[in-house]
């Protein structure tokens, strides 16, 4: 599709000349008027996000809590400095919650309580595979392992090439295959 060009509206005068018809000036908008749909963002979302993450929730799951899309949430991070700061705090709190969960449940602890013939046993443990998978996926920067494999490219010069397997953040990637 090409660009659309607005045609100037012209009218013919009595003498056969064409004259451009001018539109009246648009009405001035009230002060503070913004085009488009009003934002759903509220400043109290900062504290709500921090509380959500304090319980181990993810940043993205917070979007579902306040019933907005994840894209809207990330737009707000770009537009609102206080919300971006709350995201950083929330990320740290969520990481701390998951690490505490792992630390508290690292061993299978069984406690028995009761008296006489009535005994009640409770077991506190964590599924380590699920815990490891969760923290590796949610906190890649802190928990992803990078495995390096050296491959000989040229036998005569013993030139090697390093292949990195796993996610490496763009900021941490090396330009030379080191």
Q: What are 14-43's pLDDT values in tens digits?
A: 666 666 667 778 777 777 777 777 888 999
Top-confidence residue, 44 or 12? 44
Mean pLDDT of 148-166: 61
Name the nearest CA neighbour of 131 among 98, 153, 164, 108: 98
Name the nearest CA neighbour of 173 among 138, 148, 139, 137: 148
pLDDT tens per residue across span 97-147: 999 888 887 766 667 776 766 767 666 677 788 888 888 888 888 887 766
Domain ranges of the chain: 40-109+125-153
Residue 130 buriedness (CB in 10 A; 0-12 / 13-18 / 19+): exposed
Mean pLDDT of 55-82: 94
> What pLDDT is recorded for position 55?
95
Give the pLDDT band (50/70/90) at residue 152.
Answer: low
- Provide the percentage of residues in the chain whose pLDDT is more than 90: 33
What CATH architecture applies to the domain 40-109+125-153?
Answer: Orthogonal Bundle (1.10)
| Beta carbons within 8 Å of 157's beta carbon, 6+ residues apart | none
């Amino acid at each position: 599709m090409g660009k659309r060009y607005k045609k100037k509206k012209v009218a013919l005068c009595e003498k056969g000349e064409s004259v451009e018809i001018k539109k009246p000036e648009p009405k001035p908008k009230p002060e503070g008027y913004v085009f488009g749909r009003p934002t759903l963002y509220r400043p109290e979302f900062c504290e709500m996000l921090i509380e959500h993450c304090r319980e181990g929730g993810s940043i993205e799951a917070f979007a579902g809590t306040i019933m907005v899309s994840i894209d809207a949430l990330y737009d707000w991070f770009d537009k609102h400095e206080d919300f971006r700061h709350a995201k950083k705090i929330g990320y740290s709190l969520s990481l701390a919650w998951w690490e505490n969960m792992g630390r508290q449940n690292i061993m299978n602890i069984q406690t028995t309580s009761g008296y006489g013939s009535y005994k009640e046993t409770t077991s506190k443990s964590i599924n380590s595979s699920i815990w490891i998978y969760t923290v590796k996926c949610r906190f890649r920067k802190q928990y992803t392992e990078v495995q390096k494999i050296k491959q000989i490219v040229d036998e005569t010069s013993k030139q090697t090439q390093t292949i990195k397997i796993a996610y490496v953040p763009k900021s941490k990637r090396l330009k030379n295959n080191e």
